[in-house]
Structure 1
Amino acid sequence: MTSSETQDVRRVLVIAHTGREAARDVAAQFCRSLHAHGILLRLLEDEADDLDLGIEGVEVVKATAEAGADCELAVVIGGDGTILRAAELARECGTPLLGVNLGHVGFLAEAESDDVDITIDAIVHRRYTAEERLTIDVSVYHDKELVASTWALNEASVEKAARERMIEVVVEVDGRPLSRWGCDGVVCATPTGSTAYNFSAGGPIVWPGVEALLLVPISAHALFARPLVVAPSSVLAVEVIARTDGSGVLWCDGRRTVELPPGARIEVRRGRVPVRLVRLHQAPFTDRLVAKFDLPVAGWRGAAERRRRSENGDGGAHRA
């Protein structure tokens, strides 16, 4: 095969929450339609049997960081948890993720399960863009030795290991101590993760286009325990106080964990490699917030102007 022929080959990785019947049905619909349009399919080894497509020429690969290599995008069918799993398989090779929501809020997803035909048409005709989302790299030290390295798209959270006991931590920003807290934990989040655990912990919602790192204490027993937004170049550090009985656990995106003994130090900095998310619509993030959280906007005076523009053919409302 020549280089020009290689460039003409279109290949899509399909990842699904195959434990759910609805996800299997939608995945099968995507696969059969994309195959009918001459697009090569790639499936994960542990999902191929569950889908049982009966389509010839399907590539089956192991669930590794190279699973998305040479794919123009990865279609991810499920909730945000499935998209976070897919990010582990597509981040290093730069494959964009197109989330099809079967969950509840589904903030990371771009399409809903009842938009399958529209979404397939957009893929076939390449009517989509990809945007880069900031990630965080996380390092864990103990006795000044690096004991673990990982990353996150949404957040890294340092949490207490025992329900009945707080964790004692000192928080540091850019090499300078900020405060000591007895708390349930500390969340270090990205703008993408600001609508996830950060949101539940009382942190601010940050628009995806803003480059920043977030730090939010969870149930801290302290006078100063406010959410912080710092520069993307900053380095956040959380140290588990050595002279206490409390130990902790590090969670990254709710998927990867590291045990944290007293004296452990966790450093969080801007990630070396971003995650690319597919966008089908250029709707403002405000509209996405309103739609996902079902926010009340009745009474907004701009609605009349928007209707007038729509009636005059000047452009209708943006889709969330």
Structure 2
Amino acid sequence: MSEFNTIALIGKYGDPGVLDTLMQLHDYFKSHNRQVVLDLSTAENLRIRDIESLDRDQIGERCDLAIVVGGDGTLLNAARSLADYGVPLLGINLGRLGFLVDISSTHIEETLDEILKGNYLEDERCLITATLEREGEHVYRCDAFNDIAVHKSNTARMIELETYINGKQLYTLRADGVVISTPTGSTAYAMSAGGPILYPGIDAVLIVPICPHTMSSRPIVVPGNCEIEVRIGATNHGEIQVTCDGQLNVAMTNGDRLHVKRKEKKIRLLHPSNYDYFDILREKLHWVGRLS
């Protein structure tokens, strides 16, 4: 018997195309004598009123498994809100890229059959937490599963910032910004900015300058237990923002400091039993050619 008895369904917000898959999942689990609930925002957005709905905290407290239907962005959102509860996440890919949501919509039921039998792989992924300090006070906090970016917002001018590792200065940057990434996020914004790909199980954090003026300002990988600090210079013009996972934003002002460190809680990701990270890389990044 599976350990998953109460299952939450979370759909991509604002996308009516997830409805059929959500109802397929609901009917599947009901036929297997499982309790099924809907994420409250999903139910409200799709106007589903005949299935019990719970907010994210209630899902965290009551559910044994959360299934995310959509793309990586939907899973990032669910991961941040459920990380403190230890609820495992399973992703069904209705999006475009799908590094994190790795179950095809055409193989849902056969994959779930195996998962309910206990035939699945589980891995733990780290998150990072950003705390914004202004004039000695902490004014904002957010978690990120992929990355935290400090970047210019509304001008085409570079910004000036300093980065520190455990209180020791790393470098002063004149750049479009800097990305601080988990290993999971190393295939996202950090990779686009020229950073390396990190295997998800590595205990590390990646720092990647965005379009630095000095080409010697290179990406660097530091141990996962380091605290990273980004200080904004006093002479910047225009708005600077902190963005977490490309979804949460807050403005920074001259003199602000951003403290980033690994979150204590981890995300539990479930995969089909035939999952292989390097297969995902080859498929998504089109590394499929072979020597003849």
TM-score by shorter chain over 0.5 = yes
Give the superposition deviation at 1:205. Answer: 0.4
- The amino acid across from 2:209 in the alignment is P
Q: Which residue of structure 2 aligns with residue 3 of structure 1?
A: none
Q: Return 276-285 or 92-101, whichever deviates more.
A: 276-285
**What whole-Å deviation, never above 9, does each CA across 1:125-177 have from its counterpart, x for those lacking one?**
23224321011111111112211121111000001122322211011112111
Alignment of 1:249-268 (within 5 A): 249-268=241-260
Residue 103 of structure 1 is aligned with which of 73, 95, 100? 95
Q: Is the alpha carbon distance of 1:175 and 1:9 closer, same or farther for their aligned partners in structure 2, counting shifts above 3 Å?
A: closer
Give the superposition deviation at 1:26. Answer: 1.0
Q: Which residue of structure 2 aligns with residue 174 of structure 1?
A: 166
CA distance in 2, matches of 1:24, 1:280: 23
Q: Is the 8 A contact 1:156 1:188 kept in 2?
A: yes
Residue 106 of structure 2 is aligned with which of 99, 114, 117? 114
SS in 1 for 2:209: strand
Q: 5+ residue gaps in structure 2?
A: none
Alignment of 1:178-217 (within 5 A): 178-217=170-209
Q: Is the alpha carbon distance of 1:9 and 1:297 closer, same or farther for their aligned partners in structure 2, counting shifts above 3 Å?
A: closer
Q: Is the 8 A contact 1:18 1:24 kept in 2?
A: no
Q: Which has the higher contact order (CA 8 A, sep 6+)?
A: 2
CA distance in 1, matches of 2:64, 2:115: 10
Aligned residue pairs total 290
Give the superposition deviation at 1:188. Answer: 0.1
Give the superposition deviation at 1:22. Answer: 3.2
Whether 1:135 and 2:117 are equivalent positions in the alignment is no
Q: Return 285-294 or 72-81, whichever deviates more.
A: 285-294
Whether 1:151 and 2:146 are equivalent positions in the alignment is no
Q: 5+ residue gaps in structure 1?
A: 1-6, 301-320
Q: Which residue of structure 2 aligns with residue 16 of structure 1?
A: 11
Q: Return 142-151 or 211-220, whichever deviates more.
A: 142-151
Alignment of 1:278-297 (within 5 A): 278-297=270-289
Q: Is the alpha carbon distance of 1:261 and 1:59 closer, same or farther for their aligned partners in structure 2, counting shifts above 3 Å?
A: same
Q: Is the 8 A contact 1:137 1:272 kept in 2?
A: no
Whether 1:41 and 2:36 are equivalent positions in the alignment is yes
Alignment of 1:241-320 (within 5 A): 241-299=233-291
Q: Is the 8 A contact 1:17 1:24 kept in 2?
A: no
CA distance in 1, matches of 2:19, 2:233: 47
Q: Is the 8 A contact 2:123 2:270 kept in 1?
A: yes
Q: Is the 8 A contact 1:18 1:51 kept in 2?
A: no
Q: Which residue of structure 2 aligns with residue 31 of structure 1?
A: 26
Q: Return 200-209 or 18-27, whichever deviates more.
A: 18-27
Q: Is the 8 A contact 1:216 1:227 kept in 2?
A: yes
Q: Is the 8 A contact 1:105 1:293 kept in 2?
A: no
Q: Is the 8 A contact 1:129 1:278 kept in 2?
A: yes
Q: Is the alpha carbon distance of 1:20 and 1:229 closer, same or farther for their aligned partners in structure 2, counting shifts above 3 Å?
A: same
CA distance in 2, matches of 1:8, 1:215: 38
- The amino acid across from 2:157 in the alignment is R
Q: Is the alpha carbon distance of 1:116 and 1:174 closer, same or farther for their aligned partners in structure 2, counting shifts above 3 Å?
A: same
- The amino acid across from 1:98 in the alignment is L
CA distance in 2, matches of 1:65, 1:183: 39
SS in 1 for 2:61: coil
- The amino acid across from 2:26 in the alignment is C
Q: Which residue of structure 1 aligns with residue 116 of structure 2?
A: 124
Whether 1:91 and 2:102 are equivalent positions in the alignment is no
